[in-house]
Amino acid sequence: MEKLNSIDDLKRLREKLSLEMFQPDKMRVRACCGTACTATGAHKVISAMEEDAGKRGLELEIVKTGCQGMCQNGPVMKVEPANIFYQKVKPAQASPLIGYTFLGGTPLRQALFRENIVSEPVPEMVDLPFYKKQLRIALRNNDKIDPKNILHYIAVGGYKALEKALSSMTPDEVLSEVDKANLRGRGGAGFPAGKKWKHTKSDKNPIKFVIANGDEGDPGAFMDRSIMEGDPHSLFEGMLLCAYAIGARYGLVYVRHEYPLAVKNLKHAIKQAEEIGLLGKNILGTDFSFHLDVREGAGAFVCGESTALVASIEGERGFPRPRPPRLSETGGGAWGYPSNLNNIETYACVAPIIEKGADWFKSIGTENSPGTKVFALTGKVKNTGLVEVPMGTTLREIIFDIGGGIIGDKKFKAVQTGGPSGGCIPAEHLDLPVDFDSLAKVGSMMGSGGMVVVDEDTCMVDLAKYFLSFTQSESCGKCTPCRVGTYQMLQILEKITSGKGEHGDIEQLEEMGRRIREGSLCGLGQSAPNPVLSGIKYFRKEFEEHIYDKYCRAKVCSGLGVFRIEHSECFLCGLCKEACAFDAVKVTRDSFSIDQDYCTKCKACYTACPIGAVKVEKQQKKWIGVRG
């Protein structure tokens, strides 16, 4: 690639590429090659399509894009110029897909999206319920470009904001525009990026760092990873604008080693940007220089915390430390230099703000939380995947309109937002507008954007135990409230879910949760009790049933309830007896029954019964003076 020596060179290259690479009538397939689609065989499909197109003599361009969002239905792809969206494409469908679409001018119906088996297929991506209410800013290029080709990014308008900043804006004007836009950090805390940039710039140290936090250790979360894999240059452009605004010359992208595709694409993109003159010394012929590198972490959840992340970058163990000094001050950042730290999604939103203006950004979302937010929608929802919606979109719209509702049309029970440190939100708050402040009011948080939906078959006590076990195991152990407190809370939850809960356990969990929040050093410990405390707040009755009735209404926890066989439903298959290791299932000539003296409540018979004839009921026991 020829090096760009001026801003005019970049403009001319973009004009040329736009004409060459986006011809409206060209036969083109934009195939998702994100992690999920790759795992379901996207590259095999692409190879089959290339082979078939070659045999037919077709000039077919296949663009291997980043994550297009609809991960559960992968491999997915868009076909141009007809703008047809295909899902769950198999290698065997490659030949008929090309034949029908490009030669016959008709969609391949078997690969189109359907809401259910009897509904009509939906051919165009914009008409799919999953995409209708989405607005993509951070993910704006993920379904358009090949992340390994910098020319694709430039062709769709990439580096236009950097071009504008270097040609017509001072560093202070760039900073002022980001501050005016009220871009709040998408990593979870929601602190205004502009204010953080100002504080870093105010430090007199001439050496400053711009750091991107791509750790993203939340289970089921893959927002930042998808940007790093599918559109790394949008991250770089945001970091370049930040460096220009605050006077930094060095940048680091911190990413966990478990994201091999992200690491590979980031390093490749850095090399291309350096070759073309968009990273390094005297960028585009100006006196602005910026050098960027990738730092891989060992995958510790605590390294999402800023000071622990910096320790990991420096080669030390990921331990958080007290503040001040803050990262933005001398002595607090990487190797003691002032450092601005934002997460990947935050930086990805910067270029559109500079290009289109703060007022445009503020026209989207809510007054205190402008813009959009990317969520990883997972759990018991029909359409899981990556969604980006304007702030203020309600939980109901995300879960039911975009996500398609609950699998099997079961009853919605709760949604857990904010990752393992977030809170569980019940059905009564389904119409809650999703933004930083509204989530905090109901005891949850935005976090990095994880959104786990659960249905009526989920035990809220067991769910709280699951998330607390994650944060407890990921605790660095530096401070006592987090190290010991989360362990003690987990022990109480283990006791409750195994049928050994006692009066006072709920109150003890609440008290310990408050103390851990107040006494922990970093955000991990301060937020670790959230799933338990929000679970108790909204689902206290379930906790009480586990303790006082020895009963789990979701039939999830072992050691709880009374097991019996409903004779009117049982068809005497004998599977319950085969499954019982303790000879608790007794057989008479015409029935099966469970001997309570032998029953260990292991649930083997309940699980083995194919028709649900084994019932789990509350223990008929009187508790006097202890409940309520």
Own/partner pairs for 516-521, CB < 8 Å, 24+ apart? 516/481, 516/482, 516/485, 516/486, 516/489, 518/481, 519/479, 519/480, 519/481, 519/485, 520/479, 520/481, 520/482, 520/485, 521/320, 521/321, 521/322, 521/478, 521/479, 521/482
Mean pLDDT, residues 521-550 taken together: 94
Dihedral, 159, 164, 170, 172 alpha carbons, nearest 10: -60
Distance CA 542, CA 548 (A): 10
- With a CB cutoff of 8 Å and minimum separation 6, the contacts of 222 are 35, 67, 216, 376, 386
- With a CB cutoff of 8 Å and minimum separation 6, the contacts of 502 are 495, 547
pLDDT tier at 299, thresholds 50, 70, 90: confident
- Secondary structure, 3-state, 399-458: HHHHCCCEHHHCCEEEEEECHHHCEEEEHHHCCCECCHHHHHHCCCCCCCCEEEEEECCC
At the second CATH level, the architecture of 461-549 is: Up-down Bundle (1.20)
pLDDT tier at 197, thresholds 50, 70, 90: very high
At the second CATH level, the architecture of 150-361 is: 3-Layer(aba) Sandwich (3.40)
* Residue 217 bridge partners (DSSP): none
pLDDT recorded at residue 587: 93
Predicted confidence (pLDDT) at residue 278 exceeds the cutoff of 70: yes
pLDDT recorded at residue 217: 72
At the second CATH level, the architecture of 562-617 is: 2-Layer Sandwich (3.30)
Mean pLDDT, residues 102-111 taken together: 93
Predicted confidence (pLDDT) at residue 79 exceeds the cutoff of 60: yes
Residue 386 DSSP symbol? E
pLDDT recorded at residue 620: 65
Predicted confidence (pLDDT) at residue 117 exceeds the cutoff of 60: yes
Mean pLDDT, residues 395-417 taken together: 95
Task: Calculate ∠ Cα 430-433-439, nearest 5°.
Answer: 85
pLDDT recorded at residue 18: 87
Q: Domain residue spans in the chain?
A: 25-80+84-123, 150-361, 374-453, 461-549, 562-617
CB-based contact 552:457 (threshold 8 Å):
no
Distance CA 202, CA 171 (A): 13
Percentage of the chain exceeding pLDDT 70: 98
Six-digit token string for 472:
């407890």
Q: What is the pLDDT of residues 319-354, one digit of tens each?
A: 999 989 999 999 999 999 999 999 999 999 999 999
Place of tokens 């070759």: 275
Predicted confidence (pLDDT) at residue 624 exceeds the cutoff of 70: no
Domain 374-453 annotated CATH 3.10.20.600: yes
In 20-164 the beta strands, taken as DSSP E runs, fall at 28-32, 61-65, 77-80, 84-86
pLDDT tier at 63, thresholds 50, 70, 90: very high
Q: What is the pTM of this model?
A: 0.92
pLDDT recorded at residue 228: 96
Predicted confidence (pLDDT) at residue 53 exceeds the cutoff of 50: yes
Domain 25-80+84-123 annotated CATH 3.40.640.10: no
Predicted confidence (pLDDT) at residue 255 exceeds the cutoff of 80: yes
Q: What is the largest CA-CA distance in the chain?
A: 93
Dihedral, 165, 170, 176, 181 alpha carbons, nearest 10: -10
pLDDT recorded at residue 25: 86
**Which tops the pLDDT comparison, 82 or 22?**
82
Average pLDDT, the chain: 93
pLDDT tier at 627, thresholds 50, 70, 90: very low
Mean pLDDT, residues 492-512 taken together: 96
Does 461-549 match 374-453 at the fold level? no
Six-digit token string for 308:
């622990």
**Which tops the pLDDT comparison, 219 or 264?**
264
Mean pLDDT, residues 444-463 taken together: 92
CB-based contact 431:444 (threshold 8 Å):
no
Closest CA to 89 of 42, 142, 143: 42
pLDDT tier at 556, thresholds 50, 70, 90: very high
Predicted confidence (pLDDT) at residue 628 exceeds the cutoff of 50: no
pLDDT recorded at residue 420: 86
Let me know if 165 is exposed, middle or buried by CB neighbors in 10 A (0-12, 13-18, 19+): buried
Predicted confidence (pLDDT) at residue 625 exceeds the cutoff of 50: no
pLDDT recorded at residue 24: 80
Predicted confidence (pLDDT) at residue 219 exceeds the cutoff of 80: no
pLDDT recorded at residue 621: 56
Predicted confidence (pLDDT) at residue 450 exceeds the cutoff of 70: yes
Place of tokens 């997972």: 378
Predicted confidence (pLDDT) at residue 447 exceeds the cutoff of 90: no
In 257-390 the beta strands, taken as DSSP E runs, fall at 291-297, 339-343, 372-379, 385-390
Phi-psi category of 583—alpha, beta or left, where left has phi over 0 and alpha has psi -120 to 50? left
pLDDT recorded at residue 188: 75
pLDDT recorded at residue 623: 46
Helix axes 232-246, 193-202, angle to 10 degrees: 50
Distances in Å between the Cα of 233 and the Cα atoms of 227, 228, 239, 268, 273 are 9, 8, 10, 11, 8
